[in-house]
């Protein structure tokens, strides 16, 4: 599979902040966001910026993308996260239907653990045997419903052992496989991107830095027999970002002539669909 997709997280109670002066106030046990994005061009020394138009990345933006579930990490306009469309198979044999989702973590080359964010489930309606990610604690006894350690927090994952009670809410969670479609079939998901103002196209594979389309794929959807297997033949690949699909970047080691990209030395940027909240 190679390096797994980086996922934005919030480390609860793991940081220290200092504010004010005379005297300065130190706050302990603060929540700290980690892996929220990549260094922007303004924070780099003599960066090699994308080449070609005024539409390429500015000093506050960066190359690369991250995933993340919004129940324990917060997307912003400065540091967006990957948006996806998912359709979860649920433990009772039903499905969520196709709708907005978020990546929790990567499970294979083309397979991800995702939440369905089209609607949340309230305690009392949990499906026994179904995995969930806590959205709001409310007055639900999460230990009794399957959380286990008696110290539940927003963003925690659990598998429901009862339908539960109270007004706490959670998003259902399951594995889905990438597909080449705007609407996801049961057990599948899609991640949309654009290249040079193209119409929407969909990812067959994605990492923090690269994305591939479905051009020339020997299999247009991943059957159970090849989940996680790299079955591409000649699909195109692009360097990723959240901010623009204009301009190019130069291959490492490619010829650069008079400050311009040499022949066969550049790659078109791809803009991955994102969420900012």
Max CA separation in the chain (angstroms)? 68
pLDDT digits (tens, 9 = 90+) for 212-251: 888 876 555 555 544 444 455 567 889 999 999 988 887 6
Element (H, E) at 190: strand 188-190
pLDDT digits (tens, 9 = 90+) for 186-217: 999 999 999 987 788 999 889 999 998 888 76
DSSP β-ladder status, 237-241 and 270-272: parallel
258's tokens = 């008079």
> What per-residue confidence (pLDDT) applies to 20?
76
> What per-residue confidence (pLDDT) applies to 234?
66
Question: pTM for the complete prediction?
Answer: 0.86
> What per-residue confidence (pLDDT) applies to 94?
98
Highest mean pLDDT among 1-10, 12-21, 36-45, 261-270: 36-45
The residue written with tokens 């061009």 in the block is 41
Neighbour-count burial for 57-89, b at 16+ CB within 10 Å, e otherwise: beeebbbbbbbbbbbbbbbeeebbbbbbbbbbb
pLDDT digits (tens, 9 = 90+) for 60-73: 999 999 999 888 88
Q: What is the mean pLDDT of residues 154-170?
A: 96
The more confidently predicted of residues 22 and 174 is: 174
241: exposed, middle or buried (C-beta count within 10 Å: 0-12, 13-18, 19+)? buried
Element (H, E) at 26: strand 25-34
pLDDT at 31 over 80: no
The pLDDT > 90 percentage for the chain reads 54
Q: What is the DSSP letter of 131?
A: E
pLDDT digits (tens, 9 = 90+) for 122-149: 999 999 999 999 999 999 999 999 998 7
């Amino acid at each position: 599979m190679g390096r797994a997709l980086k996922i934005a997280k919030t480390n609860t109670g793991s940081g220290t902040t200092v504010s004010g002066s005379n005297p300065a106030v130190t706050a302990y046990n603060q929540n700290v966001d980690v892996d929220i994005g990549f260094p922007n061009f303004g924070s780099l020394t003599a960066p090699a910026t994308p080449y070609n138009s005024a539409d390429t990345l500015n000093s506050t933006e960066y190359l690369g993308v991250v995933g993340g579930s919004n129940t324990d990490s917060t997307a912003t306009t400065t540091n967006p996260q990957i948006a996806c469309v998912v359709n979860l198979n649920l433990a009772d044999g039903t499905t969520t239907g196709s709708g907005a989702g978020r990546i929790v973590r990567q499970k294979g080359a083309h397979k991800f653990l995702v939440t369905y964010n089209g609607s949340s489930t309230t305690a009392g309606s949990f499906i026994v045997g179904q995995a969930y990610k806590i959205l709001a604690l409310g007055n639900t006894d999460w230990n009794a419903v399957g959380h286990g350690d008696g110290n539940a927090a927003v963003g925690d994952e659990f598998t429901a052992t009862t339908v539960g009670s109270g007004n706490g809410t959670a998003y259902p969670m399951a594995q889905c496989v990438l597909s080449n479609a705007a609407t996801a079939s049961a057990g599948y998901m899609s991640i949309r991107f654009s290249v040079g103002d193209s119409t929407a196209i969909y990812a067959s594979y994605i990492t923090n830095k690269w994305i591939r389309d479905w051009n020339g794929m020997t299999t247009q959807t991943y059957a159970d027999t090849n989940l996680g297997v790299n079955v591409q033949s000649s699909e195109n690949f692009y360097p990723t970002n959240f901010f623009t699909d204009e301009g190019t970047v130069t291959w490492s080691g490619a010829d650069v002539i008079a400050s311009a990209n040499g022949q066969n030395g550049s790659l078109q940027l791809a803009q991955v669909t994102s969420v900012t909240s």
